[in-house]
Homo-oligomer: A and B are copies of this chain.
Amino acid sequence: MASYKALFHINESEKWNTVMANANNLVRDLGNGGVTVVVIANGEAVRDYAYGNEEFLSAMGETASQGVEFLACRNALVGNRIDAALLPRWVKVVPAAVTELVTRQADGYAYIKP
């Protein structure tokens, strides 16, 4: 069975619900072993990692427990004055989101911008 790789890019807070729904649909449709799903947030969208409400963060934690990876751009955290200590434990900080977007596509990830 082919194993796919998907990269969701989000830089606008208002798109989080769509990104979460799409990521969950993808995992449901292709199965845990059939796809690697990574969500990369930069711009204002990193704020929701730190300041999202309980319902949102709890749903994200559940999605993370399905194997979906959540990344935050350090440039965006600095630009939004967000202490990385405020992020949920399942969020990984990367130096630059754009670099991840480029290197992972070179590594075979499909790009999706909801």
Interface set of A (CB-CB < 8 Å, partner B): 2, 4-6, 9, 11, 18, 22-23, 25-26, 28-30, 35, 42-43, 75, 95-96, 98-99, 101-103, 105-106, 108, 110-114
Our pick among B2, B18, B28, B43 for the contact of A18 (Cβ within 8 Å) is B43
Interfacial chain B residues near A101, Cβ < 8 Å? 6, 110, 112
A4 to B30, CA, bound (A): 26
Q: How many copies does the complex hold?
A: 3
Interfacial chain B residues near A102, Cβ < 8 Å? 4-6, 26, 30, 35, 110, 112
Whether the Cβ atoms of A98 and B11 lie closer than 8 Å is no
Please, which residue of chain B has its CB at the minimum distance from the CB of A99? Answer: B29
